[in-house]
Structure 1
Amino acid sequence: MRAYHLVPLLATLLAGPVLASERCEAPQDQWRPVDELKTQLEGKGWTISNVKTEDGCYEVYGKDETGKKVEIFFDPVSFEAVGSDD
């Protein structure tokens, strides 16, 4: 593979975290409680091992309803999925 083929790939990989942070810009006083997000996801069959705050988003670690390991960013106001570290 030639070096110039790597430029778009590298740009895509580096843009992932940026896209998540651009979508999670609400002031913290507008955030919904993290326990509410956990309850919502567990109701869908997810198993949550950890939730942390990263770049203004909730970052959820666990397994989805199919048992697949996930690491996904959620908007703390809407609980919309805004990206993953996959």
Structure 2
Amino acid sequence: MRLPLLAALLTAAALPAFAEDICNVDKADWRPVEELKSELVDKGWSISNVKEEDGCYEVYGKDADGQRVEIFFDPASFEEMGSDD
């Protein structure tokens, strides 16, 4: 019975080592967050918050269709990198 518990604990301890940023962009190459916000507002989005997460900009708000979004953007290209929803 102790072996499964030990295996689970070792696996959980190793997980942070496997974690990796979604966006791998050198901080010196990041474009200003205000540029991203401006581009999205021009497309009809409303932005409630933007934060740095997993090496990306994570945008919270509503898209042009009024749908709530939480989307990661590459900080250099502003390419959509997916969502954690």
Q: TM-score range by the shorter chain?
A: 0.7 to 0.9
Mapping of 1:25-44 within 5 angstroms? 25-44=24-43
Structure with the larger RCO, 1 or 2 (CA within 8 Å, 6+ apart): 1
RMSD (Å) for aligned C-alpha atoms: 1.4
The equivalences for 1:18-57 within 5 A come to 21-22=21-22, 24-57=23-56
Which of the two has greater helix per residue? 1
User: Tell me, which stretches of 5 or more residues in structure 2 are unaligned?
Assistant: 1-18
TM-score calculated relative to the size of structure 1: 0.74
Whole-angstrom distance in 1 between the partners of 2:25 and 2:81: 13
Question: How big is each residue's C-alpha offset from its partner over 1:35-78, in whole Å with a ceiling of 9 and x where there is no partner?
Answer: 00000000000000000000100000000000000000000000
AA partner of residue 73 (structure 2): F
Over alpha carbons, which structure has the higher Rg? 2
- Structure 1: gaps spanning 5 or more residues: 1-17
